[in-house]
Amino acid sequence: MSKAERQIDDLYAEDPIRADAEVFGRHTDVSRRGFLGGAGLAAMSAAVGGTIVHQANMPAGLIPAALAQETKAPAAPAPAASGPQKLNFPGKNPNLVVLGEKPLVAETPEYLLDDDTTPTDKFFIRHNGTPPQAPSDLDSWKLTIDGEVNKPIEITLGELKKRAPAKTYRMVLECGGNGRSFFTPTARGNQWTNGGAGCAEWTGIPLATLLRAAGVKQSAVYTSNYGADLHLSGDMKREVISRGVPIAKAMNEYSLLVWAMNGKPLENVHGGPLRLIHPGYPGSTSHKWLTKITLRNKVHDGQGMLGTNYRVAIKPMMPGGKADDSNFRILESMPVRSIITSPQNGHRLAAGTRELRLRGAAWSGEPEVRRVDLSTDFGATWQPTRLANPRNRYDWRRWTATLKLPSDGYYEVWTRATDSSGRSQPHVAGAWNPQGYGANPMHRIAVLVG
């Protein structure tokens, strides 16, 4: 990331109106309600490379998509470099962006999520500790089910595969912190944009199949999950992460014990040979390198379940303020989100082009996606997209659209999804919280014609 990018981002975060005056030499005219005018418009048009077609609707304080940084700095110090640090990992697409190195965290730029099914090489990476070594015999991997059950079970992966017919569903897996970089002020953690998500084909059996065999007691309230990864300190006694879900979610037919991804054995980097998938919930509940599930008679209190970890504020809190743990609830259903996957931000079209074809994806947590709309005039008007039918529950909705372009110049395309509960993506990330969960502002790209 360049110094200039960091400075303009900081300046706009601190005082967007002052930033307009300093960066583009424009003053806010109350009669124009803070919109562009005069020399400021000319300066901004020059900065983005062309006349801003719907300039009358562009509010002061908005950093144009053509200038906005694509990825913020990693939470941990990284080697000095110009631009995002690209991933260098065997079998993974080299255009994934590294957000953290210890543990390894890498996100997928929106334009790489253009496939109906996200290829494994393009799928994001989120580790919390050091992954274990994969056993030479994957089928010998063992899983234990215990706690509030009538009959504890210990089963190998080989036996699990024979326990019931395998199910394959295409479902979104999303990191709980996806979108964190959009919060102002900056929240703690890896600075995800929209790339902490992917939609793969997962193969396994419903967790409910094994839980029923174990006999879930009426006293069971919550699951607690445990994996074989090692704490970064190297201390084998320290817990890396141990989260869980309500029993009702665990019994959902789409909550799977997974051993294959996109038709191949689950890779170690993605939690192989065995992991959980709890679609619609934060990815941290979809435990990797799974070794044990203990049913508890109370809400689980493991690592990643307390304080502000994977929790959002019940009552709005002052951005940047001190958190009161009693004002936080566990993040369960993920918020609605949509992205533009084609074209890429900064796309250029030949002079005289009057149509723009777009593709993208939308997804939500427990509610379903009902519609996706696009705007090219900074949200003044919206046009519906064509939504493809999902393959199954928790699949994302692929969408397409063709927009008319009235003239050459600079355009911003904004995408806004709405779920079945009537909730839509906001213009900017709201409901600030110290760990940065739930940020789902509209995605936008810049397009220049001519």
Using CA atoms, how far apart are residues 127 and 156, in angstroms rounded to an integer? 24
Domain boundaries, the chain: 3-57, 125-330, 337-449
Q: 80: pLDDT confidence band, cut at 50, 70 and 90?
A: very low
Helix (H, G, I), strand (E, B) or coil at 160: helix
Q: Which amino acid is at 182?
A: F
Using CA atoms, how far apart are residues 204 and 260, in angstroms rounded to an integer? 7
pLDDT in tens, 17-63: 677 766 666 544 443 344 555 677 788 889 899 999 998 898 878 88
What token pair was written down for 316? 């709005």
Q: 318: closest CA among 436, 189, 431?
A: 431
* Domain 337-449, CATH: 2.60.40.650
C-beta of residue 121 within 8 angstroms of C-beta of residue 95? no
Given this model, what pLDDT does residue 24 score? 67
Task: Write b or e for each residue in 39-71: b if 16 or more Cβ atoms lie within 10 A of its Cβ, otherwise e.
Answer: ebbeebbeebebbbbbbebbebebbbbbbebbb
CB atoms closer than 10 angstroms to residue 4: 10
Alpha helices, H only, 235-341: 247-250
Using CA atoms, how far apart are residues 329 and 332, in angstroms rounded to an integer? 9
C-beta of residue 279 within 8 angstroms of C-beta of residue 333? no
Q: Which amino acid is at 165?
A: P
C-beta of residue 52 within 8 angstroms of C-beta of residue 375? no
Phi, psi of 49, rounded to the nearest 5 degrees:
100, 5
This prediction's pTM: 0.92
pLDDT in tens, 140-192: 999 999 999 999 999 999 999 999 999 999 999 999 999 999 999 999 999 99
Pick the CATH number of 125-330 from 2.60.40.1180, 3.20.20.80, 3.90.420.10, 3.90.650.10: 3.90.420.10
For residue 194, what are the CA distances in angstroms to 108, 147, 442? 8, 37, 10
Q: 99: closest CA among 178, 184, 215?
A: 178
Question: Above 50 in pLDDT, residue 73?
Answer: no
Q: How much is the mean pLDDT over the chain? A: 92
pLDDT in tens, 111-125: 999 999 999 999 999
